[in-house]
Amino acid sequence: MNDRPNILLDMDGVLVDFVEGAILACGASVEECYRKWTPGLYDVVKVLGIGEEEFWRKVESKGEDFWAHLRQYPWSRSLYDGCSEFGEVFFLTKPTLDPKSCSGKVRWMQAFLGGRLAARNYLLGPPKYLCAKPWNILVDDCEPNVDLFAAAGGKAILFPQVWNRRHAQANSLRCERMLCEVEEVIRGLPARLGP
């Protein structure tokens, strides 16, 4: 049995800049949206001021390539590599209602890890809390995901973004901060009882 913890990294908002891609798909200005963003407001759709249906129609019209070609954040590589030093890293990501988001996300992972064979450590699905176990650490930018995961018995760290309650820490130091927090959580883990 491996004695390293499992670190489950969310994609959109943690490693992948979905928000930028979505704003551009809707024909809006990224700079303008961030300027008028109310800190703590989760939903980019509300910032854009359009309807939910119109938003997803525009995103989905870009097809699988939209998901495959989203930009990584400047810290994504350091965060992934840093977490890999502490434990086994898995992508844990929620697809949209469009099945093409699943294949697009897998392509993104394959490109990020440099090959098809490298990208085997992933799970796709909305109920992230089902992965909650004492030795599973979730890093996610979505408050309900983090709260449900912790309530279900896992360890969860909210990744600071302008759209969540840690918006004051959404700065250039957030990757270092996350790695420190992951390390701290690992130090406090109980003795391992199972895989």
* 130 vs 189 by CB, closer to Mg ion: 130
Sheet holding 6-9, edge to edge: 122-124, 88-93, 6-9, 136-140, 155-158
> Is the CB of 5 or the CB of 13 nearer to Mg ion?
13
Give the residues lining the site for Mg ion (CB under 5 A).
10, 12-13, 141-142
Distance CA 176, CA 181 (A): 9
| Cβ closest to Mg ion, residue 4 vs residue 152 | 152
Greatest extent of the chain over all pairs of C-alpha atoms, in Å: 51
Cβ 109 to Mg ion shortest distance, Å: 15
Q: Which is nearer to Mg ion, 26 or 70 (CB)?
A: 70
- Closest distance to Mg ion from the beta carbon of 145 (Å): 7
Q: Which DSSP symbol is given to 163? A: T
Least CB distance from residue 143 to Mg ion, whole Å?
10
CB burial of residue 105 (10 Å; 0-12, 13-18, 19+): buried
For residue 185, the minimal CB distance to Mg ion (Å) is: 19
Backbone angles phi, psi at 56, to 5 degrees: -70, -30
How near is the Cβ of 119 to Mg ion at its closest, in Å? 18
H helices within the chain, ranges in order? 18-25, 30-36, 44-48, 52-60, 63-68, 76-86, 100-113, 143-151, 174-187
> Which one, 142 or 179, has the nearer CB to Mg ion?
142
CB of 189 to Mg ion, least distance (A): 24
Give, as one character, the DSSP assignment of residue 94: -
Nearer Cβ to Mg ion, position 48 or 142? 142
DSSP tag of 91: E
> Which residue is nearest to Mg ion, using beta carbons?
13
Half-sphere exposure of 123 (CA within 13 A, CB side): 17
